[in-house]
Chain A
């Protein structure tokens, strides 16, 4: 009989952490290589400033990590980001005080997330199909509300949310994002809710037989995704001080890419916040470095794709070896 030691997830945690170490090493090598081959790119200012761009997809990636660990997917996040921004902008234009408009926007985000969750949970449809439909629905809604026009009459205080620098170099949203990352990690790893999220992805039937309400669980996960999409929307709207329906077009792809590269299996049941964060950093800085070097964005996309294929292969093999 062996004694029980360490965390309960045991060997899985070991496998996950070795993958995380691998990703971390890859990130360091990537940054070093870009620093050597792209002169002038590697500066503290530059590194920090790039974070303004990826924090929005980073917030979505945090929520997406939960969704994918449950074995689901949410393709509607970028559309929802645009919808929330348009709701805030145009309700403000219609005379609503901006703080109230922001609350309305957050409500829209959570409500639309819950809508996704409700269709998945109660109608038993596959999340891929559901969110493919709501991806069009939310984006269409954004076009209808904005009438394809942009709104950019935001007051100065609002634009500081995404445009303020602490000590002139540290973007204000970076510490906020860091706190949210830690919070997401703690929720996923240390709360009953996080346990259930993992359990749902590995074996939904066993979750049901364990006396857990699967529908409520799915609602919470997709609702959380909606909340994070709303937060990302507010930050992006503030950063570019504009709301328009074609914001964040196609952003769901890099978000899902970061999560998958970070080691979350699309079949559910495994994944970590640290992995997602590293996946996000690797992809964002690679793209940034290539862009800085003047390499066309087509090549950037190609390299990103190649990296993803590699990442998925590594994941699959890690899964197989674990037996």
Chain B
């Protein structure tokens, strides 16, 4: 049949050569219909390998992504970008059979398929190279290639290791990689381990390869090498879809780009039609949605002063001041070092150098107990593993961070515990049975219990790490109200968030962390979403850098 490429967007079928942006996306008008990147269309095998039509997936009632159309062409590199929580990883998991879509269909070679598991997806030729590599560290490279596959046997019925090594070497030779196939994967660098994953995909004859932030742990050279190999794969007709946060990579390596935002696809088109500016704008550039109207405040004295704080491999030379009655938003990408910074200030994992001063006095914080003693509290990012005791009730959890506050003459007072819990329950309108294990509450209510626990520690300096992650919209608004009230009551608040909108609408000032280094502060209340967005992506904009 005459292959007519469909864009798969709501524009309906149209030739790929004119696939472009939808008109309503607020892109610069110069970005109209333009010729496609040559390698996407002019290849010898330009056909649709995979077509997702209107797929959607909900988690506990909230759509992680919905109505997504995505095509993967043979021989293309297709980048998927978007803010954290935009639904990129969910989309990849749908394609890889980890989750089943609740809406829409996935077609491979024009046939609609239902994947029950990644195994089904792999049988259909879709391979995934996850962010956290799932190799067996103590098995050899060769053995890892054969995990989940039939191993060749000799005529005596034992494994034919010679044949396996031969095939493994052949695969790596094809990729142009020098690697000892007998070496245990543990002994490899993360770049080499990634090559093993790619070889594994190749040996299974995968035709669609999904990569989730493949370059996050790689140096520039290693990343270049990876992309050389990716190009090679594409030349063989493999379609590569990859998620990244590094925008510069998109322009260097991707043929087409899909931008996602809030669980929806907002743009698909050739990368060469885009600029960093337009990409960032699409990622964050909706009219600023105020979840909550910030009250006008006049911050007081400096409550927390951090100077030159460094922990090697996590963050470097971090300095900032946090005043009473002020909310500082700490923006950045996951892995930029924000949680590590907060946890260093909280004494969980101490910094190597630098100073911390509370109310103008230098303090030495060795563990979380001393941090709390100085009035510093921290709402951990991982609610379930770091924050709550899921098998215990809400009052038990609220009291746990400050048992002294419940204790009368050495005994925990059940009456005091009840009063405290009732007080926070009505203050935060926590819904659900308080006597049941907190693990049974919804994410939003769990977060309110965790906030109650933090406030019962009576802190003056509050560090909130992703305070609305996994929280439904209704509870979010309540949490924003609580944070605002705390600032009005004179608390100094540092709010770490990967959701730019949240930071933009809540913070009085914004700091941005990129690969362990701090930029800013950006002064509010009228922040430029683009400016902050650029900074989180590590793109430097003249005149906005506070740092030299």
Residues of A within 8 A of B (CB): 1-12, 186, 190-192, 195-196, 198-199, 202-203, 205-206, 208-213, 269-270, 322-323
User: Is B389's CB within 8 Å of the partner chain A?
Assistant: yes
- Asked if A210 contacts B385 (CB within 8 A), the reply is no
22 CB contacts below 8 A, A to B, read A1-B425, A2-B433, A8-B393, A8-B395, A9-B396, A191-B411, A191-B412, A195-B403, A195-B412, A198-B389, A203-B389, A208-B368, A209-B348, A209-B380, A210-B400, A210-B401, A210-B453, A211-B368, A211-B401, A213-B369, A270-B391, A323-B440
Contacts of B407 in A (CB 8 A): 191-192
Inter-subunit contact A4/B372 (CB<8 Å): no
- Contact check, B435 vs A11: say whether CB atoms are below 8 A apart: yes
Question: Does B390 have its Cβ within 8 Å of any Cβ on chain A?
Answer: yes
The 8 A-B pairs of least Cβ separation, nearest first, read A10-B435, A192-B403, A211-B372, A211-B368, A8-B395, A10-B393, A8-B396, A210-B401
Task: Report the separation of the CA atoms of residues A322 and B437 in the bound assembly, to the nearest whole angstrom.
Answer: 10
| A206 pairs with B385, CB closer than 8 A | yes
Q: Are B437 and A199 in contact, CB atoms less than 8 angstroms apart?
A: no
Hey, which chain B residues are within 8 Å of A211, CB to CB?
367-369, 371-372, 401, 457
Nearest chain A CB to B404 CB, angstrom units: 7
Contact residues in A for B387 (Cβ distance below 8 Å): 206, 209
B residues within 8 A CB of A9?
392-393, 396
* CB pair A206 B389 closer than 8 Å: yes
Question: Which residue of A4, A192, A199, A212 contacts B435 across the interface (Cβ within 8 Å)?
Answer: A4
Which residues of B come within 8 Å of A, CB atoms? 348, 367-369, 371-372, 378, 380, 385-393, 395-396, 399-401, 403-404, 406-407, 410-412, 414, 417-418, 421-422, 425-426, 429-437, 440, 453, 457
- A4 near B422 with CB under 8 A, answer yes
- Tell me which of B372, B386, B389 has the highest count of chain A C-beta atoms within 10 A of its own C-beta: B389
Q: Report whether B391 and A206 are in contact in the complex, using a CB–CB cutoff of 8 Å.
A: no
Residues of A within 8 A of B431 (CB): 1
Q: Which residue of the partner chain A has the closest CB to B440?
A: A323
Nearest to B401 among chain A residues (CB) is A210
Question: Which residues of chain B are near A8, meaning CB under 8 Å?
Answer: 392-393, 395-396, 399, 414, 417-418, 421, 435
Q: Are B414 and A7 in contact (CB under 8 A)?
A: yes
Q: Are A4 and B418 in contact (CB under 8 A)?
A: yes
CA distance A269 to B391 in the complex (A): 8
Q: For the complex, what is the distance from the CA of A269 to the CA of B368, rounded to whole Å?
A: 22
A213-B367 contact in complex given A1-B429, A206-B385, A206-B386, C-beta closer than 8 Å:
yes
For B434, the closest partner residue in chain A by CB is: A4
Chain B residues, Cβ within 8 Å of A196: 403
Contact yes or no, A203 B395, CB < 8 A? no
Contact at A209–B437, with CB atoms within 8 Å? no
- Decide: A4 and B425 in contact? CB cutoff 8 A: yes
**Minimum Cβ distance to chain A for residue B391 (Å):** 6
A203 touches B422 (CB 8 A): no
Q: Is B369 a contact of A212 with CB atoms below 8 Å? A: yes
Contacts of A10 in B (CB 8 A): 393, 396, 434-437
Bound Cα distance from A128 to B522, whole angstroms? 53
- Interchain CB contact under 8 A, A5 and B401: no
CA distance A1 to B394 in the complex (A): 13
Complex alpha-carbon distance, A126 and B153, angstroms: 41
Point out which of B388, B396, B399, B406 has the most chain A C-beta atoms below 10 A from its C-beta. B396
A224 CB, nearest partner CB in chain B, Å = 16
Q: Closest B-chain residue to A269, C-beta based?
A: B391
Cross-chain contact B422 with A190 (CB below 8 angstroms): no
Which among A2, A9, A12, A210 has the greatest number of chain B C-beta atoms within 10 A?
A: A210
User: With the chains together, A322 CA to B368 CA distance in Å?
Assistant: 32
User: Measured between alpha carbons, how far is A6 from B418 in the docked complex, in Å?
Assistant: 9
How far is the CB of B277 from the nearest CB of chain A, in Å?
40
Q: Once the chains bind, are B391 and A12 in contact (CB under 8 Å)?
A: yes
Q: Are A190 and B412 in contact (CB under 8 A)?
A: yes
Closest Cβ of chain B: how far from A250's Cβ, in Å?
Answer: 33
A209 touches B386 (CB 8 A): yes
Provide the bound-state CA to CA distance between A7 and B435, in Å.
8
Q: Which residues of A contact B435 (CB under 8 A)?
A: 2, 4-6, 8, 10-11
* Cα distance, A202 to B388, chains bound together (Å): 10
- Nearest Cβ in chain B — how far from A189, in angstroms? 9
Chain B residues near A1: list those with CB within 8 A: 425-426, 429-431
Chain A positions within 8 Å of B432 at CB level: 2
Report the separation of the CA atoms of residues A2 and B378 in the bound assembly, to the nearest whole angstrom: 28
Q: A191-B410, A199-B389, A210-B401 are in contact. List 4 more A-B contacts (CB 8 A).
A: A2-B434, A4-B425, A190-B412, A208-B368
How far is A190 from B409 in the complex, measured between Cα atoms in Å? 11
Residues of chain B within 8 A of A213, CB atoms compared: 367, 369
Which of A5, A6, A195 makes the CB contact (< 8 A) with B400?
Answer: A195
User: Which B residues are in CB contact (< 8 Å) with A12?
Assistant: 391-393, 437
> How many Å from the CB of B119 to the closest CB on chain A?
27
Residues of A contacting B389 with CB < 8 Å? 198-199, 202-203, 206, 269
When C-beta atoms are compared, the residue in chain B nearest to A3 turns out to be: B422
Contacts of B386 in A (CB 8 A): 205-206, 209
Please, how many angstroms separate the alpha-carbon atoms of A195 and B371 in the complex? 21
Residues of B within 8 A of A323 (CB): 440
| Complex contacts, B457 vs chain A, CB 8 Å | 211
Cβ contacts under 8 Å, A2 to chain B: 432-435
- The smallest C-beta distance from A294 to any residue of chain B, in angstroms, reads 46
**A6 partner residues in chain B, CB cutoff 8 A:** 435
- Complex interface: chain A residues within 8 A of B414 (CB): 7-8
Closest to A6 in B: B435
Q: Contacts A190-B411, A211-B369, A211-B372: A198 and B392 contacting too (C-beta < 8 A)? A: yes
Inter-chain contact B429/A11, CB cutoff 8 Å:
no
CB proximity of B403 to chain A, nearest CB, Å: 4
Assembled-state Cα–Cα distance A190/B389 (Å): 18
A195 to B389, CA, bound (A): 11
- The answer for the CA separation of A322 and B391 in the assembled complex, in Å, is 9
Q: Are A209 and B392 in contact (CB under 8 A)?
A: no
**List of B residues within 8 angstroms of A195 by Cβ:** 396, 399-400, 403, 412
A203 to B437, CA, bound (A): 14
Bound form: Cα–Cα A319–B399 in Å: 24
Contacts of A208 in B (CB 8 A): 348, 368
Nearest B residue to A203 via CB reads B389
The chain B residue sitting closest to A11, CB to CB, is B436
User: What residues on B are CB-neighbors of A190 within 8 Å?
Assistant: 411-412
- Cα–Cα, bound, A205→B380 (Å): 11
In the complex the two chains form, is A209's CB within 8 Å of B378's CB? Answer: yes
Q: Cβ of A210: which chain B residues have Cβ within 8 Å of it?
A: 368, 400-401, 453
Would you call A203 and B385 a contact (CB within 8 A)?
yes
CA distance A198 to B403 in the complex (A): 13
Closest chain B residue to A195, Cβ basis:
B403
Closest-CB distance, A191 to chain B (whole angstroms)? 6
Taking the nearest CB of chain A, how far is it from the CB of B39, in angstroms? Answer: 48
Q: What's the least CB distance linking A163 to chain B, in Å?
A: 35
Given contacts A4-B422, A8-B396, A192-B404, whether A206 and B388 have CB atoms under 8 Å apart is yes
Enumerate chain A residues within 8 angstroms of B453, measured Cβ to Cβ: 210
B369 near A11 with CB under 8 A, answer no
